[in-house]
Structure 1
Amino acid sequence: MKDILFILVLQLIYVPTFTLRTIMLVKGRSAAASLLGFAEALIYVFGLSIVFSGDQSFMTMFVYALGFGVGILIGTKIEHELAIGYTTLQVILTNNNETLIEQLRSEGYGVTTFVGQGRDEARYKLEILTKRNQEEGLYEVIQDYEPNAFIIAYEPKTFKGGFWVKSMKKRKKKKKIQEPINKDLML
Protein backbone atom coordinates (compact mmCIF):
# COMPACT_ATOMS: atom_id res chain seq x y z
CA MET A 1 0.00 0.00 0.00
CA LYS A 2 2.87 2.37 0.78
CA ASP A 3 4.30 1.84 -2.73
CA ILE A 4 0.95 2.61 -4.33
CA LEU A 5 0.67 5.94 -2.49
CA PHE A 6 4.29 6.75 -3.35
CA ILE A 7 3.60 6.05 -7.03
CA LEU A 8 0.59 8.38 -6.91
CA VAL A 9 2.63 11.17 -5.30
CA LEU A 10 5.44 10.72 -7.83
CA GLN A 11 3.00 10.95 -10.73
CA LEU A 12 1.39 14.05 -9.22
CA ILE A 13 4.84 15.67 -9.25
CA TYR A 14 6.15 14.13 -12.47
CA VAL A 15 3.32 15.01 -14.85
CA PRO A 16 3.01 18.71 -13.88
CA THR A 17 6.80 18.93 -14.22
CA PHE A 18 6.54 17.36 -17.68
CA THR A 19 3.74 19.79 -18.61
CA LEU A 20 5.68 22.82 -17.45
CA ARG A 21 8.87 21.65 -19.20
CA THR A 22 6.98 21.32 -22.46
CA ILE A 23 5.48 24.78 -22.07
CA MET A 24 8.89 26.27 -21.27
CA LEU A 25 10.28 24.72 -24.46
CA VAL A 26 7.45 26.13 -26.54
CA LYS A 27 7.93 29.57 -24.95
CA GLY A 28 11.67 29.49 -25.73
CA ARG A 29 12.84 29.29 -22.12
CA SER A 30 15.42 26.57 -22.59
CA ALA A 31 17.25 27.01 -19.24
CA ALA A 32 14.05 26.53 -17.24
CA ALA A 33 13.05 23.63 -19.52
CA SER A 34 16.42 22.00 -18.95
CA LEU A 35 16.10 22.18 -15.16
CA LEU A 36 12.56 20.86 -15.26
CA GLY A 37 13.70 18.08 -17.62
CA PHE A 38 16.37 17.00 -15.13
CA ALA A 39 13.80 16.83 -12.32
CA GLU A 40 11.34 15.08 -14.60
CA ALA A 41 13.85 12.36 -15.54
CA LEU A 42 14.72 11.68 -11.90
CA ILE A 43 11.10 11.37 -10.88
CA TYR A 44 10.32 9.19 -13.89
CA VAL A 45 13.13 6.74 -13.16
CA PHE A 46 12.16 6.44 -9.49
CA GLY A 47 8.50 5.95 -10.34
CA LEU A 48 9.11 3.31 -12.99
CA SER A 49 11.56 1.44 -10.80
CA ILE A 50 8.89 1.12 -8.12
CA VAL A 51 6.22 0.06 -10.60
CA PHE A 52 8.42 -2.57 -12.27
CA SER A 53 10.13 -3.88 -9.14
CA GLY A 54 6.85 -4.73 -7.40
CA ASP A 55 4.28 -7.33 -8.23
CA GLN A 56 2.75 -5.08 -10.94
CA SER A 57 -0.78 -5.54 -9.72
CA PHE A 58 -3.76 -4.00 -11.43
CA MET A 59 -4.02 -1.50 -8.58
CA THR A 60 -0.42 -0.33 -9.05
CA MET A 61 -0.93 0.21 -12.76
CA PHE A 62 -4.31 1.88 -12.17
CA VAL A 63 -2.84 4.32 -9.63
CA TYR A 64 0.05 5.08 -12.01
CA ALA A 65 -2.44 5.96 -14.76
CA LEU A 66 -4.72 7.86 -12.36
CA GLY A 67 -1.77 9.92 -11.14
CA PHE A 68 -0.87 10.70 -14.75
CA GLY A 69 -4.37 11.98 -15.54
CA VAL A 70 -4.69 14.06 -12.38
CA GLY A 71 -1.13 15.34 -12.90
CA ILE A 72 -2.15 16.76 -16.27
CA LEU A 73 -4.95 18.70 -14.59
CA ILE A 74 -2.53 20.03 -11.95
CA GLY A 75 0.09 20.98 -14.56
CA THR A 76 -2.50 22.79 -16.63
CA LYS A 77 -3.77 24.68 -13.59
CA ILE A 78 -0.21 25.72 -12.64
CA GLU A 79 0.49 26.92 -16.19
CA HIS A 80 -2.77 28.87 -16.24
CA GLU A 81 -1.84 30.59 -12.97
CA LEU A 82 1.69 31.40 -14.21
CA ALA A 83 0.27 32.76 -17.49
CA ILE A 84 3.65 32.84 -19.21
CA GLY A 85 3.93 34.74 -22.46
CA TYR A 86 1.89 37.25 -24.42
CA THR A 87 -1.50 37.45 -26.07
CA THR A 88 -2.70 39.49 -29.01
CA LEU A 89 -6.34 40.43 -29.01
CA GLN A 90 -8.25 41.46 -32.10
CA VAL A 91 -11.36 43.29 -31.03
CA ILE A 92 -14.05 43.88 -33.66
CA LEU A 93 -16.52 46.69 -32.99
CA THR A 94 -19.52 48.00 -34.91
CA ASN A 95 -18.71 51.61 -34.00
CA ASN A 96 -15.54 53.61 -33.51
CA ASN A 97 -15.56 53.69 -29.70
CA GLU A 98 -13.00 56.43 -28.98
CA THR A 99 -13.82 56.28 -25.25
CA LEU A 100 -12.76 52.62 -25.10
CA ILE A 101 -9.63 53.29 -27.15
CA GLU A 102 -8.60 56.20 -24.91
CA GLN A 103 -9.30 54.16 -21.77
CA LEU A 104 -7.13 51.29 -23.01
CA ARG A 105 -4.34 53.69 -23.94
CA SER A 106 -4.57 55.49 -20.59
CA GLU A 107 -4.10 52.11 -18.89
CA GLY A 108 -0.93 51.59 -20.93
CA TYR A 109 -2.16 49.19 -23.60
CA GLY A 110 -0.87 49.73 -27.10
CA VAL A 111 -3.91 49.92 -29.36
CA THR A 112 -3.75 49.95 -33.14
CA THR A 113 -7.02 50.66 -34.93
CA PHE A 114 -8.20 49.61 -38.39
CA VAL A 115 -11.34 50.34 -40.37
CA GLY A 116 -12.80 47.63 -42.54
CA GLN A 117 -15.98 46.70 -44.30
CA GLY A 118 -18.20 44.00 -42.80
CA ARG A 119 -21.07 42.29 -44.58
CA ASP A 120 -23.55 45.09 -43.90
CA GLU A 121 -21.54 48.01 -42.57
CA ALA A 122 -18.16 49.35 -41.52
CA ARG A 123 -16.30 47.53 -38.74
CA TYR A 124 -13.57 48.78 -36.48
CA LYS A 125 -10.75 46.51 -35.42
CA LEU A 126 -8.51 47.10 -32.44
CA GLU A 127 -5.29 45.14 -32.17
CA ILE A 128 -3.83 44.91 -28.67
CA LEU A 129 -0.76 43.08 -27.36
CA THR A 130 -0.62 42.23 -23.65
CA LYS A 131 1.05 39.86 -21.22
CA ARG A 132 -1.03 36.74 -20.59
CA ASN A 133 -1.18 37.47 -16.88
CA GLN A 134 -2.90 40.80 -17.69
CA GLU A 135 -5.32 39.38 -20.24
CA GLU A 136 -8.33 39.07 -17.90
CA GLY A 137 -8.13 42.75 -16.92
CA LEU A 138 -8.08 43.68 -20.58
CA TYR A 139 -11.24 41.63 -21.25
CA GLU A 140 -12.96 43.40 -18.36
CA VAL A 141 -12.17 46.87 -19.73
CA ILE A 142 -13.39 45.91 -23.20
CA GLN A 143 -16.60 44.36 -21.84
CA ASP A 144 -17.31 47.46 -19.72
CA TYR A 145 -17.30 49.68 -22.82
CA GLU A 146 -18.34 47.21 -25.54
CA PRO A 147 -20.29 44.21 -24.20
CA ASN A 148 -21.01 42.98 -27.76
CA ALA A 149 -17.42 43.17 -28.98
CA PHE A 150 -16.17 40.20 -30.97
CA ILE A 151 -12.79 39.22 -29.53
CA ILE A 152 -10.19 36.85 -30.95
CA ALA A 153 -7.11 36.06 -28.88
CA TYR A 154 -3.95 34.30 -29.98
CA GLU A 155 -0.38 33.94 -28.77
CA PRO A 156 2.23 35.58 -30.96
CA LYS A 157 5.45 33.66 -31.43
CA THR A 158 7.79 36.59 -31.97
CA PHE A 159 7.61 40.34 -32.03
CA LYS A 160 10.07 43.21 -32.12
CA GLY A 161 9.98 46.96 -31.62
CA GLY A 162 7.19 49.30 -30.68
CA PHE A 163 6.53 51.33 -27.58
CA TRP A 164 4.32 48.86 -25.71
CA VAL A 165 7.12 47.37 -23.56
CA LYS A 166 7.54 50.66 -21.67
CA SER A 167 3.80 51.09 -21.28
CA MET A 168 3.40 47.56 -19.93
CA LYS A 169 6.02 48.21 -17.26
CA LYS A 170 4.26 51.47 -16.37
CA ARG A 171 0.88 49.75 -16.12
CA LYS A 172 2.29 46.99 -13.92
CA LYS A 173 3.82 49.55 -11.51
CA LYS A 174 0.60 51.55 -11.49
CA LYS A 175 -1.47 48.48 -10.59
CA LYS A 176 0.91 47.56 -7.75
CA ILE A 177 0.44 51.01 -6.28
CA GLN A 178 -3.35 51.08 -6.73
CA GLU A 179 -4.29 47.54 -5.76
CA PRO A 180 -3.28 46.01 -2.42
CA ILE A 181 -2.15 42.42 -2.70
CA ASN A 182 -4.76 39.92 -1.56
CA LYS A 183 -2.66 37.20 0.03
CA ASP A 184 -5.64 34.82 0.16
CA LEU A 185 -5.58 34.61 -3.66
CA MET A 186 -1.85 33.84 -3.92
CA LEU A 187 -0.61 30.28 -4.38
Structure 2
Amino acid sequence: MDLHPLVLVVIIFMISIVYVTLSTIRMILMMKGYRYLAAGLSVLEVIINILGLGLVLDNISQIQNLIAYAAGFGAGIVVGSMIEDKLTLGYVTATVVSPDNSDRLSKQLRELGFGVTDWETNGHGGQRRSLQILTPKKRELKLYQTIKELEPQAFVVANDSKTIHGGFWIRTVRKGRTAV
Protein backbone atom coordinates (compact mmCIF):
# COMPACT_ATOMS: atom_id res chain seq x y z
CA MET A 1 0.00 0.00 0.00
CA ASP A 2 1.51 3.28 -1.12
CA LEU A 3 0.24 6.29 0.80
CA HIS A 4 0.90 9.93 0.10
CA PRO A 5 3.62 11.11 2.58
CA LEU A 6 1.30 13.71 4.13
CA VAL A 7 -1.47 11.14 4.63
CA LEU A 8 1.04 8.81 6.28
CA VAL A 9 2.16 11.58 8.66
CA VAL A 10 -1.46 12.28 9.66
CA ILE A 11 -2.18 8.56 10.20
CA ILE A 12 0.94 8.12 12.33
CA PHE A 13 0.08 11.23 14.35
CA MET A 14 -3.48 10.03 15.00
CA ILE A 15 -2.38 6.49 15.88
CA SER A 16 0.07 7.90 18.41
CA ILE A 17 -2.61 10.10 20.00
CA VAL A 18 -4.98 7.14 20.30
CA TYR A 19 -2.26 4.90 21.75
CA VAL A 20 -1.19 7.35 24.47
CA THR A 21 -4.79 8.26 25.30
CA LEU A 22 -5.66 4.57 25.75
CA SER A 23 -2.54 4.13 27.86
CA THR A 24 -3.64 6.98 30.14
CA ILE A 25 -7.15 5.60 30.48
CA ARG A 26 -5.77 2.11 31.20
CA MET A 27 -3.60 3.48 34.01
CA ILE A 28 -6.57 5.30 35.53
CA LEU A 29 -8.69 2.16 35.36
CA MET A 30 -5.95 0.11 37.02
CA MET A 31 -5.50 2.64 39.82
CA LYS A 32 -9.25 2.69 40.43
CA GLY A 33 -9.43 -1.11 40.67
CA TYR A 34 -10.94 -1.92 37.24
CA ARG A 35 -8.34 -4.63 36.52
CA TYR A 36 -10.21 -6.62 33.89
CA LEU A 37 -11.37 -3.59 31.94
CA ALA A 38 -7.79 -2.25 32.03
CA ALA A 39 -6.46 -5.59 30.81
CA GLY A 40 -8.92 -5.64 27.91
CA LEU A 41 -8.03 -2.09 26.99
CA SER A 42 -4.32 -2.95 27.05
CA VAL A 43 -4.83 -5.49 24.24
CA LEU A 44 -6.25 -2.75 22.01
CA GLU A 45 -3.54 -0.37 23.17
CA VAL A 46 -0.73 -2.76 22.14
CA ILE A 47 -2.28 -3.46 18.73
CA ILE A 48 -2.56 0.25 17.99
CA ASN A 49 0.98 0.92 19.19
CA ILE A 50 2.44 -1.85 17.01
CA LEU A 51 0.56 -0.49 13.98
CA GLY A 52 1.91 3.01 14.59
CA LEU A 53 5.47 1.89 15.25
CA GLY A 54 5.33 -0.38 12.22
CA LEU A 55 4.42 2.55 9.99
CA VAL A 56 7.25 4.61 11.44
CA LEU A 57 9.82 1.82 11.17
CA ASP A 58 8.74 0.86 7.64
CA ASN A 59 9.41 4.46 6.63
CA ILE A 60 12.27 5.26 9.02
CA SER A 61 14.13 7.29 6.39
CA GLN A 62 11.32 9.83 6.48
CA ILE A 63 12.02 12.02 9.53
CA GLN A 64 8.54 13.57 9.37
CA ASN A 65 7.07 10.18 10.36
CA LEU A 66 9.18 10.04 13.51
CA ILE A 67 8.27 13.64 14.33
CA ALA A 68 4.57 12.85 13.75
CA TYR A 69 4.79 9.88 16.13
CA ALA A 70 6.53 11.97 18.82
CA ALA A 71 4.12 14.91 18.38
CA GLY A 72 1.16 12.52 18.55
CA PHE A 73 2.59 11.08 21.76
CA GLY A 74 2.65 14.56 23.34
CA ALA A 75 -0.82 15.37 22.06
CA GLY A 76 -2.05 12.03 23.41
CA ILE A 77 -0.93 13.01 26.90
CA VAL A 78 -3.00 16.20 26.66
CA VAL A 79 -6.04 14.34 25.30
CA GLY A 80 -5.66 11.58 27.91
CA SER A 81 -5.53 14.07 30.76
CA MET A 82 -8.63 15.83 29.42
CA ILE A 83 -10.47 12.50 29.30
CA GLU A 84 -9.26 11.74 32.83
CA ASP A 85 -10.87 14.98 34.01
CA LYS A 86 -14.16 13.93 32.40
CA LEU A 87 -14.13 10.34 33.72
CA THR A 88 -14.06 11.36 37.39
CA LEU A 89 -14.07 7.79 38.64
CA GLY A 90 -14.01 7.00 42.32
CA TYR A 91 -14.10 9.01 45.51
CA VAL A 92 -12.05 11.67 47.23
CA THR A 93 -11.46 12.02 50.95
CA ALA A 94 -10.76 15.59 52.04
CA THR A 95 -9.42 16.47 55.46
CA VAL A 96 -10.33 19.99 56.47
CA VAL A 97 -9.04 21.88 59.50
CA SER A 98 -11.18 24.88 60.35
CA PRO A 99 -10.14 27.63 62.75
CA ASP A 100 -13.80 27.79 63.79
CA ASN A 101 -14.19 25.07 66.44
CA SER A 102 -17.99 24.93 66.07
CA ASP A 103 -19.86 22.35 64.03
CA ARG A 104 -21.26 25.05 61.72
CA LEU A 105 -19.21 24.01 58.66
CA SER A 106 -19.95 20.30 59.22
CA LYS A 107 -23.68 20.94 59.34
CA GLN A 108 -23.64 23.10 56.23
CA LEU A 109 -21.69 20.51 54.26
CA ARG A 110 -23.99 17.70 55.40
CA GLU A 111 -27.00 19.73 54.26
CA LEU A 112 -25.39 19.86 50.82
CA GLY A 113 -25.13 16.06 50.74
CA PHE A 114 -21.47 15.58 51.68
CA GLY A 115 -20.48 12.78 54.05
CA VAL A 116 -18.76 14.51 56.98
CA THR A 117 -17.15 13.20 60.15
CA ASP A 118 -15.88 15.91 62.47
CA TRP A 119 -14.04 16.22 65.78
CA GLU A 120 -12.30 18.78 67.93
CA THR A 121 -8.55 19.10 67.41
CA ASN A 122 -5.70 21.28 68.54
CA GLY A 123 -3.55 23.23 66.11
CA HIS A 124 -0.81 25.84 66.23
CA GLY A 125 -3.32 28.57 67.02
CA GLY A 126 -5.37 26.60 69.56
CA GLN A 127 -8.55 24.57 69.27
CA ARG A 128 -9.76 23.76 65.78
CA ARG A 129 -12.40 21.61 64.13
CA SER A 130 -11.21 18.79 61.85
CA LEU A 131 -13.50 17.32 59.24
CA GLN A 132 -13.13 14.26 57.10
CA ILE A 133 -15.30 14.47 54.01
CA LEU A 134 -15.99 11.71 51.51
CA THR A 135 -17.36 12.69 48.12
CA PRO A 136 -17.60 11.26 44.61
CA LYS A 137 -14.77 12.58 42.44
CA LYS A 138 -17.31 14.34 40.21
CA ARG A 139 -18.24 16.59 43.17
CA GLU A 140 -14.66 17.30 44.27
CA LEU A 141 -14.41 20.81 42.80
CA LYS A 142 -17.85 21.71 44.19
CA LEU A 143 -16.62 20.63 47.64
CA TYR A 144 -13.53 22.84 47.43
CA GLN A 145 -15.55 25.82 46.20
CA THR A 146 -18.10 25.35 48.96
CA ILE A 147 -15.44 25.12 51.68
CA LYS A 148 -13.73 28.22 50.32
CA GLU A 149 -17.03 30.14 50.41
CA LEU A 150 -18.11 28.93 53.86
CA GLU A 151 -14.71 28.89 55.61
CA PRO A 152 -12.02 30.75 53.61
CA GLN A 153 -9.38 30.18 56.32
CA ALA A 154 -9.78 26.39 56.32
CA PHE A 155 -6.81 24.15 55.56
CA VAL A 156 -7.73 21.40 53.06
CA VAL A 157 -5.84 18.25 52.06
CA ALA A 158 -7.42 15.68 49.72
CA ASN A 159 -6.59 12.14 48.61
CA ASP A 160 -8.16 9.65 46.24
CA SER A 161 -9.96 6.89 48.10
CA LYS A 162 -9.55 3.48 46.51
CA THR A 163 -11.35 1.26 49.02
CA ILE A 164 -14.50 2.25 50.88
CA HIS A 165 -16.55 -0.01 53.14
CA GLY A 166 -19.43 0.68 55.48
CA GLY A 167 -20.98 3.85 56.81
CA PHE A 168 -24.42 5.31 56.27
CA TRP A 169 -23.27 7.53 53.42
CA ILE A 170 -22.00 4.63 51.29
CA ARG A 171 -25.37 2.90 51.61
CA THR A 172 -26.98 6.14 50.42
CA VAL A 173 -24.58 6.38 47.45
CA ARG A 174 -25.25 2.78 46.41
CA LYS A 175 -28.98 3.48 46.45
CA GLY A 176 -28.38 6.52 44.24
CA ARG A 177 -29.64 9.14 46.66
CA THR A 178 -26.71 11.57 46.92
CA ALA A 179 -27.22 15.20 46.09
CA VAL A 180 -25.47 16.19 42.88
Segments of 5+ residues of structure 1 without an aligned counterpart are 176-187
The residue type equivalent to 1:101 in the other structure is S
| Residue of 163, 169, 178 corresponding to 1:171 | 178
Once the two structures are aligned, what percentage of the paired residues are identical?
35
Kindly provide the CA deviation profile for residues 129-173 of structure 1, in whole angstroms up to 9, marking residues without a partner as x: 11111111111221221012111001123221111123443224x
Matched, 1:125 2:130: yes
Moved over 6 A (4+): none
Maintained 8 Å contact 2:90/2:136: yes
CA separation in 2, counterparts of 1:6 and 1:93? 53
Where do residues 105-144 of structure 1 align in structure 2 (5 Å cutoff)?
105-144=110-149
The residue type equivalent to 2:58 in the other structure is S
| 1:115 alignment partner, SS class | strand
Give the aligned CA root-mean-square deviation in angstroms: 1.5
CA separation in 1, counterparts of 2:69 and 2:13? 6
| 1:105 alignment partner, SS class | helix
| Residue of 23, 31, 46 corresponding to 1:26 | 31
CA separation in 1, counterparts of 2:52 and 2:125? 61
Deviation at residue 97 of structure 1 after TM alignment: 4.1
| Residue of 56, 64, 67 corresponding to 1:59 | 64
Q: Provide TM-score, normalisation by structure 2.
A: 0.89
Residue of structure 1 in register with 2:85 after alignment: 80
Residue of structure 2 in register with 1:95 after alignment: 100
| 1:171 alignment partner, SS class | coil
The residue type equivalent to 1:153 in the other structure is A
Deviation at residue 19 of structure 1 after TM alignment: 0.6
The residue type equivalent to 1:85 in the other structure is G
Aligned length, in residue pairs:
173
CA separation in 1, counterparts of 2:47 and 2:80? 18
Residue of structure 1 in register with 2:109 after alignment: 104
CA separation in 2, counterparts of 1:33 and 1:135? 24
CA separation in 2, counterparts of 1:28 and 1:171? 22
Maintained 8 Å contact 2:92/2:158: yes
CA separation in 1, counterparts of 2:97 and 2:75? 38
Greater alpha carbon shift after TM alignment, 137-146 vs 95-104? 95-104
Maintained 8 Å contact 2:60/2:66: no
Segments of 5+ residues of structure 2 without an aligned counterpart are 1-5
